[in-house]
Amino acid sequence: MFNKSDISRNEFQLFGSQAKQGYDWWWHSFTAINKKTGKEKPFYIEFFFCNPALAKDEPVYGQLKENKEKGIKPSYLMVNVGSWGKDKKQLHRFFAYKDVELQGKKPFSVKAADCYLDEVSTKGSVKVTKEDSINHPEYMSDAGEISWDLKIEKNVAFNVGYGASKLFRQMQLFEMFWHAEGMKSYYEGTIIQDGEEYIVSKDTSYGYADKNWGKDFTSPWVWLSSNNLVSKITGKKLENSVFDVGGGRPKIGPIALNRKLLSAFFYEGKCYEFNFSKFWTFTRTKFEGKESEDKIIWHVEQKTVFNKVIVDIECKKEDMLLINYEAPNGLKRHNRLWNGGNGEGVVKLFHMGKLVDEFECKNVGCEYGEFTE
């Protein structure tokens, strides 16, 4: 059973060597409704720590020219908020570590100026002027303004197992760790982008919340998740279902495990897991991510002894962002990391060779990218 809440995995993880070269982020994504037009728009909010042991009195930007020349690593809390679709954008606000109030142990909380996050709520604001966006490429940010005030209710978890257990976290064995405390989450409140107000309602938020931490990013990088699902067999909406797929090329120390994914399919209360780290399930995976002229396309096939899943998702490039992260070592190798919140597609789920259901997916959170050298 992967649906096991464990908020200790949401604790702040940057200790030991990861404090000098490591990142730790909490990610939230959801759909909101324009108060005037009634149209949907997906948003995300992320609190991203980098190298707290290298902190100075001001944020340290790894992409600043003089820092790149001197090999100085980044150090900051970055509040990263954005949207997908029409008028898409990503906005970054940076804080020095000394200006952050952090409760690292469970239940965690983070506060910096008016930006706040804990297990059940988040609020804040990010504003980047056009001049700062142009004149400060080290901000890796578009121009605009977003503010928010939201309640969070995490409903279904994807606990990946011993790979993110306390022992493995302490030993810092993996290069990139993952825990989805709320792979199905409900959000409620308001979010405002550039003066346009959006209402976030529990039943239409199709929310997601997870956490990643480690020393570097995976490549390829794969993520797919949705809880807006409708059965193609019955035509009914699957009210108690969600799926989550993530991974790419995990590393244990110097050893890379090529093209591995962790997946959880919570189908009307039943768990179907495809997890390479649970070796006794004999999980086998094939996946492909590719760019066409106007889309990013994912195809995933996974099997265990008893179960099988086939996932086909697409997302229009015009609706997606090329998300901007710099690694804790100061390098920015992910320069084509496609990130979206309104993918669509179909999932086929099998048990003992028989089709359990085939369902359409909308409001799919999705990500794909590989390092550029």
Range of the structural domain that residue 135 is part of = 7-369
- First and final CA of the chain: distance in angstroms? 39
Which stretch of 158-167, 291-300, 309-318 has the lowest confidence by average pLDDT? 158-167
Task: Band the pLDDT of 371: cuts 50, 70, 90.
Answer: confident
Does residue 25 fall inside a structural domain? Answer: yes
Considering the chain, what percentage of its residues have pLDDT values greater than 90?
87
Task: Band the pLDDT of 161: cuts 50, 70, 90.
Answer: confident
φ/ψ (deg, to 5) at 84: -120, 170
Does residue 2 fall inside a structural domain? Answer: no
**Distance between CA atoms of 28 and 182, rounded to whole angstroms?**
9
- Identify the helix (H) or strand (E) that includes residue 349: strand 338-351
Q: Judge whether 222 and 339 are in contact, CB under 8 Å.
A: no
Q: For 231, left (φ over 0), alpha (ψ -120 to 50), or beta?
A: beta
pLDDT for residue 3:
96
Give pLDDT tens digits for 249-285: 665 666 556 668 999 999 999 999 999 878 788 999 9
Judge whether residue 244 has pLDDT over 90: yes
Judge whether residue 144 has pLDDT over 60: yes
Q: Which of 107, 182, 195 is nearest to 145 (CA)?
A: 195
Q: Output the average pLDDT for the chain.
A: 94
Give pLDDT tens digits for 275-295: 987 878 899 999 999 999 999
Considering the chain, what percentage of its residues have pLDDT values greater than 70?
93
Give pLDDT tens digits for 310-349: 999 999 999 999 999 999 999 998 999 999 999 999 999 9
Judge whether residue 162 has pLDDT over 90: no
> What CATH number does residue 43 fall under?
2.40.370.10
- Residue 128 or 217, more confident: 128
Does residue 105 fall inside a structural domain? Answer: yes
Does residue 1 fall inside a structural domain? Answer: no
DSSP label of 371: -
**Distance between CA atoms of 201 and 12, rounded to whole angstroms?**
29
Does residue 24 fall inside a structural domain? Answer: yes
Contacts of 355 (CB under 8 A, 6+ apart): 348, 349
> What is the total count of domains within the chain?
1
pLDDT for residue 280:
86
| Region 48-59 average pLDDT | 98
Does residue 331 fall inside a structural domain? Answer: yes
Judge whether residue 373 has pLDDT over 60: no
| Region 149-172 average pLDDT | 78
Does residue 204 fall inside a structural domain? Answer: yes
Task: Band the pLDDT of 65: cuts 50, 70, 90.
Answer: very high
Does residue 350 fall inside a structural domain? Answer: yes
Judge whether residue 166 has pLDDT over 70: no
